[in-house]
Structure 1
């Protein structure tokens, strides 16, 4: 991208976010962000075109002001929901001629795989290398500058999504006055949330958003499986609203200020006043009363993620669990997860100045994906954030194909060249059932007698205790 600024646009569950970053040594330096809440998006997809376009324009304006960068090119981030994961192989033969491998060889193989996967209702979002082999000798992660005489082989992952969803997202972004350079899936991006040891040993990222929980399992440096659940922080708010007969606005505010995901550590002393929807007098509850509801929902989410991992024969997560996303702001999230599994658990909060919120994790990871692919394919070579560009790509012949993003891919190559001249194993699981709202009857009686002992239903508590023990043993 121009001046080596990378801009990620994240169309999320209830907001549009933009992050402006640049390569800095071995990491990413974030120099500006923007965020606009909107009703135009839901679970990462567009449900109102005009509202979303307006939110994008507003978000970009904020990001330009905060970063001081006047940009018009972005990397678009797409959610995991509805995506399909496949794997494929490709090989280039050199016929005994000594050849130095460069970014063109890698790009040609990945593009061949992209064009080979043709489905009527699906679009290839990302083709990412799992590993390479030079002359069939050993696996490498980046073969550039190595010499080969026989062949270069790549095993690659392919992420496909609904063609309609992708085309509408790109159209909306472009009508907001932006150019989409490339599209990245959260399934690939989350690898940048993990540390090197976590992604090598086998780590799980769980991103809990407003209406969507996404997760991915990575091992030996690459994505193995991913999936999503149609539940998030919004459902916690609705649970609290129903349980305490209060408004959604009051429930959301109470959740942010007093919410705690781990019942045993929640305060039983502080008092929270909640207005009643039926006009009755305000009620007084404690953070522990709220935690009783919050923990129930969060346990359900975590256990459903564990269930999908088990379905994919993932029963050991040596690298541990990493929780992020907007709902990870809740107190007690880490403690609750630690109560469910035996592996290491941490909450990921970006450490970049100006973006130290877990809801920005995905967008920042998208910037990292952009930099990674740029360097792998040699679009640009960057030593650090302020070095001169050394662009080695050349304009490619335009070839039409049935793949919507092939044209996007070629357009990006031409743009880079112009800028230089001018200065789960298997299909992801997407569970859409089983998330009916909880029914909270006779809560007033519980509130009146909350000092008389544990309010939880004996049957529910026994079942939840059994499930805790089951999954704790599973991931030991």
Structure 2
């Protein structure tokens, strides 16, 4: 699709598709985003390929109508909760006779760091560099252009089960969509939504889905921890269904109707009415009762996350929290409740792009951001030197010195 980028995010409750591009001012432009209900995922694994394929087909058709061109390939987001992070160090000898570090040396060391002990039937899906070392000099952000004998990198290597990846790819294939590449959901989100000062000071990203809450902790540009809790928005729906003795579908509609997590005296006598999905008339519920059920469960879910952070020893490293994901992030009082639970500053993270400024689109839009960062190096390099497939032209290698204005995360993203 020329310079267009298509991303597909498959969760336990929906498939979300997004299409974007870089405009003439080098800014990300989200052209369209759409969702379709899906029940083909359980605990991050594909359990119903047909359900996913149907939803993907629906999403792709909508995106095609938006951009008025066919969509045949997309970048796929996968859950970080099913991945494993391994800290590793890779090192290579600098190849140039002048011992000046070139792009090729950077490629070589990033390939070297991928060599980690892996269980059978797993593969590397991402590498998050933390620090480069040139000879005895450490804490280097961008080593290109420096002189030394050895180049080393410390990084988090992200691996995922091959069976899980194949399951997702098969579902897209049945919808006639090829997979251009893989984006790990939380890594795409944090590069798009988390502020630089938040990462420097320590931040926990809480992605609340229907069945799983994924939490990732970042500090000083490093991933400190990743874990998941097998609870989410569906847990709240079940509570409503059991407590109010209503069918599950009606409980979901009641949850959507509720916008508060804290009782409001002005709404004390307010009642919520919905038409029952069963066709047996309407359901009339006291709003305060609904708020109490949902509010207490949300507090419990957040407390479970907090307890895990304390047990893992990361709570002290966190200065603030950012909540994204499904319907829980849309509750009016979520930041008040979360701040009360965590005792630290909390905000809801949302993409800033026109038409996609909603926390439920965070993962899908994060795909666009990640791919743009991967491709940005092409533009940076082409300003000063001739390149072919991002490799330095050998005739100019000894004459040209490449300079970069982008941050090292943006620079390195192309190599993964």
Partners of 1:284 and 1:164 in 2: how far apart? 46
1:167 and 2:163 aligned: no
CA offset at residue 100 of structure 1?
A: 4.5
- In structure 1, the residue matched to 2:74 is 74
CA offset at residue 290 of structure 1?
A: 1.0
CA offset at residue 160 of structure 1?
A: 2.1
Sort the Cα spacing of 1:392 and 1:324 in 2 relative to 1 into closer, same or farther, 3 A: same
- In structure 1, the residue matched to 2:345 is 344
CA offset at residue 117 of structure 1?
A: 3.7
CA offset at residue 287 of structure 1?
A: 2.5
1:286 and 2:286 aligned: yes
Q: What is the total number of aligned residue pairs between the two structures?
A: 388
Secondary structure of the 2:118 match is coil
Q: Any conservation in 2 of the 1:246–1:275 contact (CA below 8 Å)?
A: no
Sort the Cα spacing of 1:116 and 1:216 in 2 relative to 1 into closer, same or farther, 3 A: closer
Deviation string, structure 1 residues 334-360 (Cα, Å, up to 9, x no partner): 110011123211111222112122111
Q: Any conservation in 2 of the 1:30–1:353 contact (CA below 8 Å)?
A: yes
CA offset at residue 143 of structure 1?
A: 3.2
Sort the Cα spacing of 1:199 and 1:210 in 2 relative to 1 into closer, same or farther, 3 A: same
Partners of 1:294 and 1:95 in 2: how far apart? 61
- In structure 2, the residue matched to 1:393 is 389
- In structure 2, the residue matched to 1:269 is 269
Partners of 2:263 and 2:318 in 1: how far apart? 27
Structure 1 unaligned regions, length at least 5? 396-415, 417-476
- In structure 1, the residue matched to 2:151 is 152
Sort the Cα spacing of 1:31 and 1:283 in 2 relative to 1 into closer, same or farther, 3 A: closer
- In structure 2, the residue matched to 1:440 is none
TM-score (norm 2): 0.83
Deviation string, structure 1 residues 38-94 (Cα, Å, up to 9, x no partner): 222334332111221122122112122223453433221101233221110111222
The structure with the greater share of residues assigned to strand is 2
Question: 1:248-397 alignment to 2 at 5 Å?
Answer: 248-263=248-263, 267-273=267-273, 284-327=284-327, 328-375=329-376, 378=377, 380-381=378-379, 392-393=388-389
Q: Please, which moves more after superposition, 53-62 or 105-114?
A: 105-114
Q: Please, which moves more after superposition, 104-113 or 47-56?
A: 104-113
Instruction: Supply the RMSD in Å over aligned alpha carbons.
Output: 3.0
Secondary structure of the 1:345 match is strand
Q: Any conservation in 1 of the 2:17–2:364 contact (CA below 8 Å)?
A: yes
Partners of 2:248 and 2:106 in 1: how far apart? 51
Question: 1:87-102 alignment to 2 at 5 Å?
Answer: 87-94=87-94, 97-102=97-102
Partners of 2:299 and 2:170 in 1: how far apart? 38
Structure 2 unaligned regions, length at least 5? 392-413
Secondary structure of the 2:306 match is helix
TM-score (norm 1): 0.74
Partners of 2:350 and 2:123 in 1: how far apart? 32
Deviation string, structure 1 residues 389-436 (Cα, Å, up to 9, x no partner): x864269xxxxxxxxxxxxxxxxxxxx9xxxxxxxxxxxxxxxxxxxx
Secondary structure of the 1:4 match is coil
Partners of 2:160 and 2:66 in 1: how far apart? 33
Sort the Cα spacing of 1:258 and 1:46 in 2 relative to 1 into closer, same or farther, 3 A: same
Secondary structure of the 2:238 match is helix
Partners of 2:318 and 2:26 in 1: how far apart? 25
Secondary structure of the 1:147 match is coil
CA offset at residue 229 of structure 1?
A: 1.4
